[in-house]
Structure 1
Amino acid sequence: MDTADTDSTNTPRPDARKGGPATRHSRTASMADVARLAGVSSQTVSRVSNGYEGVNEKTRRQVLAAMKELGYRPNSAARALKRGEFRTIGVITFNLSTTGNMRTLEAIATSAAQEGYAVTLLPVAVPTQDEVRGAFSRLGELAVDAVIVIMEVHLLDVATLSLPPHVQVVVADSDAGDRYTVVDTDQAGGARAAVRHLLDLGHRTVWHLAGPEESFAAQRRADAWSAELTEAGRPVPPVARGDWSAESGYRAGLRLAARDDCTAVFAANDQMALGLLRALRERGRVIPDDVSVIGFDNIPEAGSYMPPLTTVHQDFAEVGRLCVEGVLRRMRHDEAEHGTTLVPTRLVVRDSTAPPPAGE
């Protein structure tokens, strides 16, 4: 026999068929209101609301029509507690202004939505350990099933970080050692390909405009640049450093433009390469006749630089997709093993690189 749900106050519900308050939306419609209007049990309404099979199509349509008429909204939190999952992924990140973080975040949101999950963003305003601890602590107050962290490694290496039980973690573009599952771009492979390209063109050595010292990605690219030159038996010039911005690339470029022995520069990202190109032009250096420039990221605008920029392509969409795939796999199978998945890069050759000037 069908039975109807009652509310916690045991207050009788007005009959929606008789034009009670529920039909006017003066209060929130209940499951019992929907059941009465559709002429079914509350149990049937619950099954339709939760997408369970076993409800014939005619009854399902009746229930959905009653929900629409009454403005009934299922209690998603209650359903989540019953199922043991919230279908929400938390994302902790800082520096939303960088191209890489924004494109990775966009890919995570898109991939999560395709899997039927929402994304809750917890931005860290200042990249300090206290801020990161606070972000992790806030996760205990939010309804999330898993966490994707787009964060520098040294900020994750905190023994006091704690997560709610059963919350799975995947880290993007970092090096979390053996503590977490990691999805990263092949930073070293991309940097080596950039240096090899310039050496193969005939340049004696390659100067490097690196990213900030605290950045894991910047360090990996700088290490690979130095290693490739050393293995080729070429001199390793001193590192110029920026902060990922075009302005910092411009400032470093003014210094590099003053050096006659600088015929090739590998910039650690395309934004800094943009500033570098401007500085070289202002100092009368012709690109690529006098100086070749290569970037990293392959941002959408790279092909519109003057000249179009040779760069290393990062597949941000694939990084985001693999992060979502990783947390869902860990959730569904409760996997405990850790490891790093590297997403390949590829060199995109355009007009900003050429052989060195004659006689160099």
Structure 2
Amino acid sequence: METRSIGPFEVSAIGLGCMSLSHAYGAPPSREQAERVLLGALDAGYTFFDTAAVYGLGHNETLVGEVLGGHRDRFTLASKCGMTVGDKRELNGRPEALKATCEDSLRRLKTETIDLYYLHRWDRRVPIEDSVGALADLVVEGKIRTIGLSEVGAPALRRAHAVHPIAALQTEYSPWTRNPEIAVLDACQELGVTFVAFSPVGRGFLAGGVRDLAKLEAGDFRTGMPRFQGEAFEANLELLAQFETLASEAGCTPAQLCLAWLMKKDPTLVSIPGTARPKHMRENAGAAQVSLSDAIMARVDAVVNETTVTGSRYAPAMQAAVDTERTPAEAEA
């Protein structure tokens, strides 16, 4: 698979987001199936694995550590802090909380150092300089190798980067979520920060994985997202039909169209699609071999964008916890 740089690391252009193996999309898969996804990803050429302390409140890090611990030299490991205190979910960016979370993560991940450690959310009760300063201490101590940020806008990125070099900034980016195009992508390019796109297939929607809301499991957090509700969902289904036609013309699946679109948009960007199914993991890896014409790129941009998608990416309460620049529709919500 093509590789791209994150700080000192060369990683697969398509990495594996591990969240869905423990968290967020209903009941997690069996241990056997999760192992098939993780170990199969290594065999398929993935060399970048992304987890977090909050995913399953430690379950996901434990899973990654137990399954991949014996292969630690074969991949770059990313995790995140700032949304847990001990075994409880809590937004907390205080230096002592971040350092304690790191100790717990190292134990669960069965590793002496985490290659890329993100501040998962900026706790705006704490200056971002203080939170990043704590992560810089962990770099000096050898417990983490590089620092990342998640779901912050360009001004916060610049403030953080002035304290310690930021290796990566992660936020949602796909044809139907264009917020990074407002300012963050430019700021990353200016500062030499790698942008990491999570939910690159629109939380499964643009892959054709959500056609009937009644089939979403209890606990699936998409049920609380405006784009997956009522008339907004029905309107977005019409966009999906057009998107699937474009994928057919491009000779790939809709999920691969999303990932190939991202790879061509930015030759330095890394995407981290997540899945609980080995088949989809292999399908996503195949996007690295898809070459899109300029005409297809332009048509994707015209069909699915911030003005044609109905509904904001988050409900107001969840939106308040992120610091990314908002589209006009989100600003009005």
| TM-score normalized with structure 1 length | 0.27
Greater helix percent: which structure?
2
Larger Rg: 1
For CA contacts below 8 A with separation 6 or more, give which structure has more relative contact order. 2
